[in-house]
Amino acid sequence: MCGRYVLATPVSDLVALFEIDEASDALPEPNWNIPPTTTVPIVVEPTPRDDGPPIRRLEAARWGLVPAWADDVSIGVRAFNARSETAAEKPMFRDAVRERRALVPADGWYEWQRQGDAKTPFYVHGSAPVSFAGLYAWWKQPDGSWLLSTTILTTASAGELASIHERMPVVIAPQMRDAWLDPTEDGEAALGAVVADAAEAVASLTAHIVDKRVGSVREQGAELLNPA
């Protein structure tokens, strides 16, 4: 699963890395310990309303998907992850799989290895920011404004990560990002492609044990990433 991650890379670097056309003015500050329901940056490429070229945007979204049909925002608390094996079928996620796919930029993520009653936190990362396969939705709030929310797709862990936890986020290789974002691509086919590539996409990542302080969402700072 992915229940806590890191994104401290400056917005200007994300704009260059993900070839962003327009960036929101409401993007959050760097965060070394991101829990669900936090506002996070996501990359989206919605269907153009005219015949113009698609616009790739860096937007601020609530982590925890709130579908358009939801009665209230609390449904997103348990929808911060979506299992890739069933996302295309579940009412919560299937519309987004078809046409509202996103990239969720991250410097890395935390995962906990369980041994008996003990849980050891690891930080998983590479030499550059990665992108998780995400989905997004718009929900009309009671005051009439619109809430953008997101979820991160997960799959079975591969390689070294399998010894830490049975699930991992679906990491998308750079060459597959365009097809994943393209709303005209077949959603189920795009999902199958990124899941099939996920093991290779994480092959270059490394993991090291970090301080148990990361278990508290109140803890912040780059020192959280230091090897314990």
Question: H helices of 68-172, where?
Answer: 94-99
Distances (CA, A) of 103 to 26, 136, 197: 17, 9, 15
Read off the pTM.
0.96
Q: For the chain, what is the domain count?
A: 1
Place 23 in a pLDDT band, splitting at 50, 70 and 90.
very high
Average pLDDT over residues 40-61: 89
Q: How confident is the model at residue 47 (pLDDT cuts 50, 70, 90)?
A: confident
Q: Residue 10, Cα to own-chain centre: how many angstroms?
A: 17
Do the Cβ atoms of 136 and 65 come closer than 8 Å?
Answer: yes
Which pLDDT does position 76 carry in this prediction? 95
pLDDT at 115: 84
% of the chain at pLDDT higher than 90? 93
- Position 48 scores a pLDDT of 76
Strands 146-156 and 167-169, sheet pairing: antiparallel
pLDDT at residue 127 in the model: 95
The H-or-E segment that residue 196 falls in is helix 187-201
| Higher per-residue confidence, 23 vs 2 | 23
pLDDT at 49 over 90: no
What integer is the mean pLDDT of 52-65?
A: 94
pLDDT band of residue 173 (cuts 50, 70, 90) is very high
Environment class of residue 71 by beta-carbon count within 10 Å: exposed (0-12), middle (13-18) or buried (19+)? Answer: exposed
Q: What is the pLDDT of residue 116?
A: 84
- What does the block give as tokens for 228? 């314990």
For all residues of the chain together, what is the average pLDDT?
95
pLDDT for res 151: 98
What does the buried/exposed string (b/e) look like for 90-119 if buried means 16 or more CB atoms within 10 Å of the residue's CB?
eebbbebbbebbbbbbbbbbbbbeeeeeee
Per-residue pLDDT, averaged over 158-162, amounts to 93
pLDDT at 40: 98
> Which range (46-60, 68-82, 163-177, 205-219) has the least confidence?
46-60
Q: Which two tokens stand for residue 90?
A: 């579940």
The CATH number for 97's domain is: 3.90.1680.10
132 band by pLDDT with thresholds 50, 70 and 90: very high
Give the per-residue pLDDT at 158. 94
Determine the structural domain holding residue 85 and report its residue range: 5-225
- Token couple for 9: 């890379």
Distance of alpha carbon 188 from alpha carbon 192, whole angstroms: 6
Dihedral over Cα of 142, 35, 154, 58: its sign: positive
**Which band of pLDDT confidence, cut at 50, 70 and 90, is reported for residue 117?**
confident
